[in-house]
């Protein structure tokens, strides 16, 4: 090829190899470009790293982002379609958040800074939100009044109650009371048998779920009761569940009941055993033993008790940041671990207690150790953007738990208000904040509410005469609905894995462990370079 501008050398050399041998020339180098994960997280030479201290080097893109699989285990027995978990904080996760996190393929962990009854009620709402066969429907009798039926609708968030002779499952089916039957009824004292629908379409006991769904679809009814040969109500299915299956194909559900998977947190005090019984009776699938420092006699004793009393219940322990902390919980039979101490956006444990660990170093150290025993790990804390989610997973976590990042969504229980700057924000507080530790909802009816508080229990402060804050209270920007925000996180994660050349989280972990996935340390100047460098700009996360 003729020279067009007189260039005769590159980097001072005028002798070049045949360009077609470029791939073979890579074998001349002793190692791949960048650092392997062990060299990256070498605390003896680099100190403890956070997510901002490094980057993942790109790989080869040979597939579209839509083909990336985000399936990942949350416990030894349960896998999620997306690796996102909401934190058990009282300004982050109640039943609304838990429902919508599960619908998006993730998991919401219901906080325990409330009474046991209130927490169990939230678990029930999650479990009743979606079903295959509803084996424990809310059943009423023919003597139930219209007013009482309306109250049940208000309590459970849905209408359409089967009416039986005795008002219980297994009794003769008489009819169904729907929302339309109750909506414009003026006489609230009359019994429901005066307004209920008696023209019913039913299916016989033994029908399969696909067959029942077809009958329901053709009937144009809202509910399909399943009855035995004597017309006694056995179970039912709902049209709304068919719609949810279409709208949320990734939903985290149990394979048999088709109910949403529900998780909740408890402490490690003796009274938490009574709390757990209420939660299990409500249908709980996963319990998180909630403590800022999980390597304690209290948690190990509670873990052993739970595994003995409820062998079908998966238990996640923590929090831990070292191998030594994790080992005791693994040996006691834990099904998953939660990693992080002092790295949350509303947490000041590292500052006040001088105890904890930078999150990147903690996630790698614990998850690499736990993986040897088949125990999945949750990276909990320090997540401020999609990039941090990717880094936590690349370091070995199976899922990522978020608090502040989700606290601003519509489904969080925090209060919305307009800030001094005129921006819409939502209240958010750490569970170690004074506000959270003095909240009296958990100890309703008790003289010593501090002893029943989830915040004081998490930080071993139940008996303290002076509370030492390990968290702060504040506000975060409003982010809109979880149903928009979580898909944005998933899309960002898929594109990141595509850039890395990884088709799945499983491959990401395998390639990181084998040294194929490479990393680079990010200096302070590099972090500045990688940020926005403009006089003014608008930062929109998704559209």
Catalytic residues: 347, 458
Q: Considering only CA atoms, which of 149, 193, 194, 196 is closest in space to residue 176?
A: 196
What element of type H or E holds 273?
helix 271-281
Q: Strand 84-86 to strand 72-73: parallel, antiparallel, or no bridges (unpaired)?
A: unpaired
- All residues at 6 or more sequence positions from 234 whose CB lies less than 8 Å from its CB, including other chains: 169, 170, 205, 226, 227, 228
Is the peptide bond prior to 319 cis by the omega test (within 30 degrees of 0)?
yes
Q: Considering only CA atoms, which of 412, 414, 418, 380 is closest in space to residue 397?
A: 380
Three-state SS letters, 289-314 = ECCCCCCCHHHHHHHHHHHHHCCCCE
CA angle in degrees (0–180, nearest 5) for 427-402-437: 50
Classified as helix, coil or strand, 173 is: strand
CA distance 398 to 542: 25
458 and 432 Cβ atoms separated by less than 8 Å: yes
Tokens of 399: 């899922």
Q: Residue for token digits 């229990």?
A: 457
Q: Considering only CA atoms, which of 191, 189, 164, 162 is closest in space to residue 178?
A: 162
Q: How many CA atoms lie within 13 A of 467 on its CB side?
A: 22
83 and 383 Cβ atoms separated by less than 8 Å: no
Tokens of 517: 């996935």
- All residues at 6 or more sequence positions from 337 whose CB lies less than 8 Å from its CB, including other chains: 316, 317, 318, 320, 326, 329, 330, 366, 370, 375, 376, 377, 378
Q: How would you class 269 by CB atoms within 10 Å of its CB: exposed for 0-12, middle for 13-18, buried for 19 or more?
A: middle
DSSP for 410-428 reads TTS-SPEEE-TTS-EEEEE
Contacts 24+ apart (CB under 8 A), 308-312: 310/276, 310/280
């Amino acid at each position: 090829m003729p020279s067009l501008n007189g260039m005769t050398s590159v980097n001072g050399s005028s002798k070049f190899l045949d360009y077609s041998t470029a791939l073979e020339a890579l074998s001349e180098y002793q190692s791949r470009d960048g650092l392997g994960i062990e060299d990256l997280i070498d605390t003896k030479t680099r100190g403890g790293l956070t997510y901002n201290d490094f980057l993942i080097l790109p790989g080869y893109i040979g597939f579209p982002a839509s083909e990336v699989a985000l399936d990942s285990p949350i416990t030894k027995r349960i896998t999620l379609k997306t690796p996102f978990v909401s934190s058990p904080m009282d300004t982050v996760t109640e039943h609304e958040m838990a429902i919508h996190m599960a619908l998006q393929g993730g998991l919401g962990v219901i906080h325990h800074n409330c009474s046991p009854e209130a927490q169990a009620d939230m678990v029930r709402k999650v479990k009743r939100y979606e079903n295959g066969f509803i084996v424990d429907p809310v059943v009423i009798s023919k003597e139930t009044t219209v007013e009482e039926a309306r109250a049940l609708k208000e309590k459970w968030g849905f209408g359409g109650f089967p009416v039986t002779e005795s008002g219980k499952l297994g009794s003769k089916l008489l009819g169904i009371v729907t929302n339309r039957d109750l909506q414009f009824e003026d006489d609230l004292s009359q019994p429901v048998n005066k307004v209920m629908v008696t023209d019913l379409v039913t299916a016989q006991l033994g029908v399969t779920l696909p067959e029942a769904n077809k009958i329901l679809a053709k009937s144009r009814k809202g509910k399909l009761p399943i009855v035995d040969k004597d017309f006694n109500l056995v179970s039912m299915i709902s049209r709304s569940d068919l719609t949810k299956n279409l709208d949320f194909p990734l939903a985290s559900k149990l394979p048999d009941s088709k109910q949403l998977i529900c998780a909740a947190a408890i402490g490690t005090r003796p009274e938490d055993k009574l709390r757990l019984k209420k939660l299990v009776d409500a249908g709980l699938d996963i319990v998180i033993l909630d403590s800022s420092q999980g390597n304690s006699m209290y948690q190990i004793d509670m873990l052993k008790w739970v595994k003995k009393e409820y062998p079908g219940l998966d238990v996640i322990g923590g929090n831990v940041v070292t191998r030594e902390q994790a080992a005791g919980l693994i040996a006691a039979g834990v099904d998953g671990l939660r990693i992080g101490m002092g790295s949350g956006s509303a947490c000041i444990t590292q500052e006040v207690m001088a105890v904890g660990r930078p999150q990147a170093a903690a996630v790698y150290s614990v998850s690499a150790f736990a993986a040897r025993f088949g125990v999945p790990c949750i990276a909990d804390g320090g997540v401020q953007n999609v990039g941090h989610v990717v880094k936590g997973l690349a370091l070995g976590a199976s899922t990522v738990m978020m608090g502040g990042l989700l606290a601003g969504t519509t489904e969080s229980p925090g209060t919305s208000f307009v800030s001094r700057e005129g921006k819409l924000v939502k209240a958010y507080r750490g569970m170690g904040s004074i506000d959270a530790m003095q909240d009296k909802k958990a100890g309703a009816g008790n003289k010593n509410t501090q002893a029943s508080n989830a915040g004081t229990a998490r930080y071993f402060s139940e008996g303290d005469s002076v509370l030492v804050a390990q968290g702060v209270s504040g506000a975060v920007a409003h982010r809109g609905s979880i149903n928009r925000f979580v898909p944005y996180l998933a899309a960002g994660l898929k594109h990141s894995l595509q850039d890395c050349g990884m088709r799945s989280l499983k491959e990401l972990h395998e390639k990181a462990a084998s040294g194929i996935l490479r990393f680079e340390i990010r200096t302070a100047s590099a972090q500045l370079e990688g940020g926005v460098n403009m006089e003014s700009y608008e930062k929109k996360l998704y559209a």
